[in-house]
A = this chain, B = another copy of it.
Amino acid sequence: MAEDQDRTEEPVNESLFEAPPMGEQERMVEAILFASAEPVSIREMAGRMPHGSEPAEAVANLRRRYEGRGVNVVRVGEAWAIRTAPDLGFLMKKEVVETRKLSRAAIETLAIVAYHQPVTRAEIEEIRGVSVSRGTIDQLLELEWIRLGRRKMTPGRPVTFIVTPAFLDHFGLETARDLPGLKDLRAAGLLDNRPPPGEGEPEEDDRQEEMFGAAPPEPDEAPEE
- A residues adjacent to B (C-beta < 8 A): 1-2, 4-5, 8, 26-32, 34-37, 47-49, 68-71, 82, 84-85, 88, 90-95, 97, 99, 166, 169-170
Contact = CB atoms under 8 A, between A and B. Distances in A.
13 contacts: A1-B170, A5-B166, A8-B169, A26-B70, A27-B68, A28-B70, A30-B71, A31-B71, A31-B85, A31-B91, A31-B92, A37-B95, A48-B92
Contacts of A26: 70
Contacts of A36: 93
A5 B91 CA distance: 13
A158 to B, nearest CB: 29
A84 B4 contact: no
A28 B84 CA distance: 9
B92 A35 contact: yes
Contacts of A31: 70-71, 84-85, 88, 91-92
A29 B70 contact: yes
A5 B145 CA distance: 11
Contacts of A1: 90, 99, 170
A166 B8 CA distance: 9
Contact of A88 (B27, B69, B99): B27
A32 B85 CA distance: 11
